Amino acid sequence: MKYIAILGLGVVGSGTADLFYANKKEIAARVGDEVQLKYVLDIRDLPESPYADKIVHDIEVIIGDPEVSVVAEVIGGLHPAYEFTCRCLAAGKSVVSSNKELVATYGAELLGLAEEHGVQYLFEASTGGAIPVLAPITRDLAGNRVQGISGILNGTTNYILTRMFRAGATFEAALTEAQEKGYAERNPAADIEGIDACRKICILTATATGTLIDPAAVHTEGITAIRQSDVQVAAQAGYTVKLLGRMVEQSGATFVMVAPFLVPAASPLASIEDVFNGVLVKTDFAGEVLFYGRGAGAHPTASAVAADVISVLRGDAPRRRWSKSDGGVPADFALFTCRHYVSLCGVEKSAVGVVWSEAELLPTEGEEIALLTPMISEREFEDELARLGASGARLQAHIRVLD
């Protein structure tokens, strides 16, 4: 018999408990031993919960029980999740986590602490919900050099952008709809400002490269400035607007960013809609590989938590060692090069043509000029925009283009 504990009986914690009960027999066969949920840590009593008899309020009960070999931390937030994780690892228990904030912040230390104590720290559920992506990068693409990652990593923003694209909704209307459906929080800042996606691209980048970068060093833009008219103009030109977390290699430099991008219709990312997530991994031998599925939700996230628990118990967990970035990664965003979608007003097309002679003008209604610039660096873009500003141009919208 193997015993596990769950820290936090919220949405993911309940889903994880549900899974271990629902698929008890299958899991026993796969592990080669019965797996039993022994404790659930929560500050509440939750007498209505089917797991009420497992609830303890004191982490010491779990830490002090040598029978518990794996702990699932699904509390979220930095504290007390960090302290609990350290205590469990130091007590010789493997920890699996859905906590993207914790992994993106303290992942390197916690992996080191796990190695020091001969246990595992796994976090498949922190990125992409149900989608197997971290373990496949570590294990199933291990023969490759990962050259790039582009992911739709946040279901809330993808739902909003899908409604803007499919139903002609404004950003505000689509956000309200997402809130009504329970896809967006009442305070949606972490999603719509790109903070959630930023943590996830940091975790993905570290998984692929072994280097964990500070989320604060990542150029991060959300989707609040995307207008319905931009989505329509882009659609007519064959693009869909998506919020992407990206790791991009250019001229030997590694750029990491979160920003909305115009995604060409032929990209496998273009057809990922609603609350689904997808991660496109570019490699030297395998080429482009896409992982797609539900990026959030009680049961999908529980699937990833359970995979990690089972992996620990079977002894086939992916082993990782991360160092913290010494500052070389991410590279200076001013040097990142791509095409840019720009909408301007207060300027003549001829003046735009002087600055961007190879720009592709897009058909628009009204007085705005919409165009796609040639490949230019962020710095060049800013400089050229300033020149146009001197001629009276006012920037209405700016979205980068995925090549």
Which positions are catalytic?
200
User: Among 344, 327, 340, 322, which Cα is nearest to 380's?
Assistant: 340
The dihedrals phi and psi of 355, each to the nearest 5 degrees, come to -85, -45
Q: How many CB atoms lie within 10 A of CB 387?
A: 12
The verdict on 292 binding a copy of itself (CB under 8 A) reads: yes
If the CB atoms of residues 42 and 124 are measured against a copy of itself, the closer one turns out to be: 124
Q: Write each residue from 131 to 150 as x if it is in contact with a copy of itself (CB under 8 A), else as -, in one continuous string.
A: xx--xx--xxxxxxx-----
Give min distance, CB of 53 to a copy of itself, in A.
Answer: 22
Chain residues 5-24 in contact with a copy of itself, contact rule CB under 8 A: 15, 19-20, 22-23
Q: Distance between CA 263 and CA 399 in Å, rounded?
A: 10
Whether the Cβ atoms of residue 337 and residue 376 lie closer than 8 Å to each other: yes
Q: Distance between CA 288 and CA 315 in Å, rounded?
A: 29
If the CB atoms of residues 57 and 319 are measured against a copy of itself, the closer one turns out to be: 319
Give min distance, CB of 55 to a copy of itself, in A.
Answer: 22
If the CB atoms of residues 320 and 398 are measured against a copy of itself, the closer one turns out to be: 320
Give min distance, CB of 16 to a copy of itself, in A.
Answer: 9
The verdict on 275 binding a copy of itself (CB under 8 A) reads: no
Q: Distance between CA 8 and CA 51 in Å, rounded?
A: 12
CA distance to 9, 178, 227, 272, 300, per residue, from 166 (Å): 36, 14, 14, 12, 25
Residue with tokens 């609603």: 274
Give min distance, CB of 319 to a copy of itself, in A.
Answer: 7
Q: Distance between CA 120 and CA 319 in Å, rounded?
A: 8
User: Among 302, 308, 265, which Cα is nearest to 114's?
Assistant: 308
If the CB atoms of residues 294 and 340 are measured against a copy of itself, the closer one turns out to be: 294
The verdict on 3 binding a copy of itself (CB under 8 A) reads: no
Q: Distance between CA 5 and CA 72 in Å, rounded?
A: 6
Q: Write each residue from 382 to 401 as x if it is in contact with a copy of itself (CB under 8 A), else as -, in one continuous string.
A: --------------------
Binding-site member from 303, 325, 373, 396 for a copy of itself (CB under 8 A): 303
Binding-site member from 299, 337, 377, 389 for a copy of itself (CB under 8 A): 299
The verdict on 284 binding a copy of itself (CB under 8 A) reads: yes
Q: Write each residue from 109 to 128 as x if it is in contact with a copy of itself (CB under 8 A), else as -, in one continuous string.
A: ---------------x----
Give min distance, CB of 380 to a copy of itself, in A.
Answer: 33
Helices (H) and strands (E) in the chain, counts: 14, 19
Binding-site member from 317, 362, 371, 401 for a copy of itself (CB under 8 A): 317
Give min distance, CB of 344 to a copy of itself, in A.
Answer: 33
If the CB atoms of residues 97 and 373 are measured against a copy of itself, the closer one turns out to be: 97
User: Among 134, 118, 117, 116, which Cα is nearest to 126's?
Assistant: 134
Angle between helices 298-314 and 24-31 (to 10 degrees): 30
Whether the Cβ atoms of residue 47 and residue 278 lie closer than 8 Å to each other: no
The verdict on 304 binding a copy of itself (CB under 8 A) reads: yes
Residue with tokens 């070389």: 328
Single-letter residue type at 168: G
The verdict on 185 binding a copy of itself (CB under 8 A) reads: no
The verdict on 318 binding a copy of itself (CB under 8 A) reads: yes
If the CB atoms of residues 128 and 245 are measured against a copy of itself, the closer one turns out to be: 128
Chain residues 23-62 in contact with a copy of itself, contact rule CB under 8 A: 23, 26-27, 30
Which tokens is 106 given? 């303290």
Q: Distance between CA 20 and CA 27 in Å, rounded?
A: 8
Q: Which stretches of the chain bind a copy of itself, using CB under 8 A? A: 15, 19-20, 22-23, 26-27, 30, 124, 130-132, 135-136, 139-145, 268, 270-272, 283-294, 297, 299-300, 302-307, 309-311, 314-319
